Amino acid sequence: MFGKKLPAAVLWDMDGTLVDSEHYWLASEKSLAEAHDATWTEQDGHDLIGNSLYESSRIIKAKIGSSMDTEAIVQHLTDSVVAKLAVEIPWRPGAKELLRELKRKKIKTALVTMSLHRMAEEVVRRIPFDAFDVIIGGDDVARGKPFPDPYLKAAEALGVRPEDCVAFEDSNTGLRSAEAAGTKAVGIPNFVEIPMIPGRILWPTLDGVRVKDLQKLFSKE
């Protein structure tokens, strides 16, 4: 199409990029803190965005003075958010529409999240079409974002080169991971600001974005 290269695959972050679930996490964190007679603010929650769930749970444990171990906090928060998603999944604008077009054009897709694999499966199960070829959860890699490992593993699982992929992220931590992996990384800020640095690509939204817009990312190659 117009001589422009199609991405070999599109790699999606989940929380805050595919689904607007960050407020579910905040509510679950706040509820856990209150059960420990501790305070948890919106800023506390925002400070965790993009972290691995295990790193976030270690921070929560220290902040609220919990006797729960990190694994128990991870599972508790995941169960809480999954229960909320079972009631309603708040999709980010344009996400499902772009996913549909990617599948129509037979472009490979992966969900690359720091949430647990089982939670990602719950979200994917509720998409009314076969949206993702691969799921990489936070418990599928030894090193999470901002290390490149999650995106490298996704590209390997899809059988493509990272540099031939587009990656979507809503946090600086996630964007650093996608950039370090060598993908065409695009930041779509949501709850937290993403700093603009030379060479970085930021879009205000995925609403109205189509495959032809992704092709433009490779137009200078």
The answer regarding whether domain 9-20+90-218 maps to CATH 3.40.50.1000 reads yes
**What does DSSP assign to residue 159?**
T
Confidence of residue 220 (pLDDT cuts 50, 70, 90): low
- Angstrom distance (rounded) from CA 153 to CA 159: 10
Q: Assign 199 to helix, strand or coil.
A: coil
Structure tokens at 78: 């995941």
- The chain-wide mean pLDDT, for the chain, equals 94
Number of alpha helices (DSSP H) and beta strands (DSSP E) in the chain: 9, 6
pLDDT of res. 2? 47
pLDDT of res. 150? 98
Higher pLDDT, 179 or 220: 179
pLDDT tens track for 34-76: 999 999 999 999 999 878 889 999 999 999 999 999 999 999 9
Length of the chain in residues, anyone?
A: 221
Structure tokens at 119: 């939670």
The answer to whether 16 and 189 are in contact (CB under 8 A) is no
Q: Where in the chain is the domain with CATH 3.40.50.1000?
A: 9-20+90-218
Q: What are phi and psi of 165, to 5 degrees?
A: -110, 150
Confidence of residue 117 (pLDDT cuts 50, 70, 90): very high
The answer to whether 99 and 209 are in contact (CB under 8 A) is no
Higher pLDDT, 60 or 3: 60
* Closest to 24 (Cα-Cα) out of 37, 15, 14: 15
CATH class assigned to 22-87: mainly alpha
pLDDT tens track for 135-147: 999 999 999 999 9
- Angstrom distance (rounded) from CA 102 to CA 185: 17
pLDDT at residue 1 above 60? no
The answer to whether 115 and 51 are in contact (CB under 8 A) is no
Q: Where in the chain is the domain with CATH 1.10.150?
A: 22-87
For the chain, state the CA radius of gyration: 17
- Angstrom distance (rounded) from CA 19 to CA 30: 20
Question: H helices of 47-116, where?
Answer: 53-64, 70-87, 95-104
pLDDT at residue 173 above 90? yes
**What does DSSP assign to residue 91?**
B
- Cis-peptide into 146, omega within 30 deg: yes
pLDDT of res. 84? 94
- Angstrom distance (rounded) from CA 129 to CA 76: 29
pLDDT of res. 3? 52
- Angstrom distance (rounded) from CA 52 to CA 47: 12
pLDDT at residue 30 above 50? yes
